[in-house]
Amino acid sequence: MRLRDRRNEPWVVEVSPIFDEAYKKRAAAYPTADELIDFVYSCLEDDPRSCGEPHIAWGDSLVWIWEFAGTAGFPRVFILYKIEDDIGRVTLCAFYLKPIPDFGIL
């Protein structure tokens, strides 16, 4: 079996129906969510292991999680994705937003 040169053949990024529905439902309130997803896509196409870490529930390094820490006006974002090395595919599986608490004026 010959390893693929990902500089010539980038990873294929696919979206699962569950991810798609969750994204549409949860990210609608955040106008900059599309730019964040575009950034994640470009990172995953280049090297999916460079933008996340293995999920602790799966020991085989097949399922990874990417986290955006959140900023003022944008919540924490978690994206669960599956890496399939043999066919060069990354599947976005789950999308979750965790709002940052508003502590008011300190």
> Which sequence spans correspond to the domains of the chain?
13-98
**What is the sign of the dihedral through the CA atoms of 31, 38, 94 and 43?**
negative
Per-residue pLDDT of the chain (106 residues; tens, 9 = 90+): 455 555 567 899 999 999 999 999 988 888 888 888 999 999 999 999 888 888 877 766 789 999 988 776 778 899 999 999 888 999 999 999 887 766 666 5
* pTM (2 d.p.): 0.81
**13-98: CATH number:** 3.30.2310.20
